[in-house]
Each structure stands twice: as C-alpha cells, then as structure tokens.
Amino acid sequence: MAKVKTTFYCQNCGAQHSRWQGQCNTCKEWNTLVEEIVEKSNQKDWKDGLEDNPVQRKRTQTPQRISQIDATESPRMDTTNAEFNRVLGGGLVPGSVTLLGGEPGIGKSTLLLQLCLNLPFKTLYVSGEESAQQIKMRAERIKKEVDNCYILTETKTQNIFRQVADNQPNALIIDSIQTLQTDHIESTAGSVSQIRECTGELIKFAKETNTPVILIGHITKDGNIAGPKVLEHMVDTVLQFEGDRNHTYRILRALKNRFGSTHEIGIYEMLGHGLREVTNPSELLISQRGSNLSGTAIAATMEGMRPLIIEVQALVSTAVYGTPQRSATGYNLKRLNMILAVLEKRAGFKLGQKDVFLNITGGINVDDPAIDLAVVVAVLSSNFDIEISSQHCFSAEIGLGGEIRPVSRLEQRVNEATKLGFEKIFVAPSKSALSDKGTQIQPVSRIEELVKYLFA
C-alpha cells in the first residue's frame, strides 16, 4: 500500500510546512497550521475529460511585443444592476473572476441570485449549500420568472465543468468556494489546498473561455475571507458586502479591482422581496428633518467617491456613577474621546463628568474625518439643550488645537447639500473658491467661532 503523503498548511496565509510548528514562518500567526493529505496528480486542469468539447478555446502561448498587443478594452457585460455596475466599474469584464465576501445572513446569496435572475444572458448558478427547492423558494420571493437562469446543486468541480460544457453559460456563479472539492486533492472541502486548487481551476476556465465567474466566500470571526490569503491575490476583484443585520441597509464596496476604482460603493435596502437599489441614500439616512431636536446635526460625508448626507445624534447627561460612560455606534470611539478632550481643553467645556452617547443613524459605519464638526455640534447641542436648524449642514475636521481643518472633495459635498435643499453648510476656510449654487457656504476657523455663531 502506498504511503499517504501529508503536509501542513497555514490557514491564514496558505504557506506550506513539512512539519507542525506553533508559529507560521511566513505570516507569524500562531496555531494556524493544519495537516492535510497531499496527492500529486499529473492531470490538474479543468478540461480533464472534455478534450472534444467545443467549450475549449485555443490561446496564443508565444510572447508578443508590447507595442503589438491590442489594448482595446472588450465591452463589459451589463448586469442591469446600477449599484453592482458602479462598484465593478461599469459591468462584468469577460473572463474576470470576482470574489464576494460578507457575514453569514447578510444577503450574499440573495444579491447574486437576484443578479442572476436579472441578467439578460444565460447564467449558471451553482450552489453547494442549498437545495434547488430552497433556491426556488427564494427566487419566488424575489418574484422573478426567467428562462435563462439555470440552477445546479453540485460541489465537485469536475461535474460542474461537465455541465458547463453541455450548457455553455455566459456567466458562472459559485455559492460558495468553500464547499467545492476537486478530485486532484484528497483533503476535505474548505481546506487550504482545496480552496486554492478549486479557485485555480475556475480561474483557468474563466481566462480560457472568456466567461466571467463570481465566487461567494465565507469570512472568519475577524472579518477576513476564510481560506488562504493567496485566494484574494488570485482573483481579479474582491467585493465586501457589509451592514448591520438589525438595519435594512447594506453596503457593497470593492477591496480590490483590477478593472476599476476601489473608491465606489453600492447601497442596497433589504426588503422582504429582495434587495432594492438605493439611488439617493442621503434622503433615507436623514430622518425627521422638519422637527428640530437638540443633539442632532447633519454631516456631509464621503463613502468612497460617493457623497452622503447623514444624521449624527448625541446625548449628553450627568453621570450617575463615578466613571462617565462613552459610547459610539457607527463612529470610532477613540476619535469621540479625542474630540471630547479637545472640547474640554481648548474650548473650556466641562464634559469630564458627563455621559456621552453618539449614534450615526441608518446603521452605517463612518470613518470620514469630515464628520468631526457635526459630532462637535451634536454634542454641544445636547449639552446646552439648544436645537440646531435643520437647514444647516456641517463638513470639516477637528484638529487637536481646536482648529477646524478643511477636507477633500468639498465641492461634491456642497453639491449634495444643495441638491437636498440645505440653506447653509459650515466648512473650514479654504483657498479654493467654491461656487455658491443655492447653499450658503459659511467658513469657520475655530470651535469658539462656531459656538458663538450657533449658541450665542
């Protein structure tokens, strides 16, 4: 009987080791080495057994001069989903491989099934996690009946490629890459070697047949895509689908994109019949604009290249216990503590013995420093119990010296505030001239100046 060959793979980076050890030599992570069976095979191609099938297309293997290479971009495939097209950079690129990650239950399968049902060309949706009846129930909930969407419940890559050769779809969707298994590797599904080998076969298939492939990937408890880190290097595009399951909004952002920008985001709303594209999220992220409440301020922020108008809520109250509480939802708690220290040191407000609670409405997380000025206004408004006009908007960064600093892409923020009908926007003094298109631009240089203007 032949001896079984085993090796140790790092679950974090995919590095191979001859024996077990506590720390990976490549990524320096502890206790990530797992023993897997390795079986060398001479046949390691997705076309095994399909030599006579017309799905194969010959590729030129000879080197070419760079001046002779045709740089004309192939037309992108329209997904009929404006938000998905925006994140990809205009649509699916033929022959590209896209990896979509996200938390369990966030809506990854719903998004791709809805995409598959709306695509104007033949699509094969391969599921290794759900039965065909479960997928049919979700499709009926989305209320779409189409004839060009094919469902396949299979986990073995050789069987998937056999069905691809018979049906020849224009796009392939895999749900999920962690459930696939190939005959070339004798380890369990979801292991480092299986994920790497299955992804390699799918990439070869995509490049040789010019068929776009979309993969769904699980994530770990740290928020990273499960499997070796080399998986993200192998694919062309890495998308992250994120949001709070207690709220209805979902954000699709690109972490890597070889064919477009990584600064674009797509916003969806999770409803009972599927995901709805949010074309104007600013109107949904600000609530009760007509009724003035203390502790509320409106901020003009940027999510990637997209301007958003969001609502910042703060509550300041006397601390009941000895140690005051600091809590922030959707905002960096350390940055909130820094802003409170600046208010106490530079502006003279005694907030050290008061509880401060901050919330960004809509369930989104904001890391744009331009929201600092709105945080300051919301905290002071709640502290003084003075209402801020709902026609005022704020967009600037707060420095440690109490100065108000300018932010990037200010013209786009002002245009978004103008589109929603705000009368005045408070910004930092800037050398660049901004055109007044209906919203008055009010420059402020220090916190004391802002306080005199709003709370005098």
**pLDDT for res 56:** 47
**Residue-wise pLDDT tens digits, 211-254:** 999 999 988 777 777 777 778 889 999 999 988 777 788 889 89
The region of weakest confidence among 81-90, 429-438, 446-455 is 429-438
Given a contact cutoff of 8 angstroms between Cβ atoms, the answer to whether 198 and 238 are in contact is no
**Residue-wise pLDDT tens digits, 34-90:** 887 766 555 556 666 565 554 444 444 688 888 888 766 678 899 999 999 999 998
pTM: 0.77
Measured CA to CA, the distance from residue 98 to residue 79 in angstroms comes to 14
The beta strands (E) that lie in 15-164 are given as 16-17, 33-37, 97-102, 123-127, 149-153
**pLDDT for res 191:** 81
Exposure b/e, 400-435, CB count within 10 A at least 16 = b: eebbbbbbeebeebbbbbbbbebeebbbbeeeeebe
Average pLDDT over residues 146-169: 92
Residue 270 neighbours by CB under 8 Å, 6+ apart: 107, 110, 243, 248, 249, 250
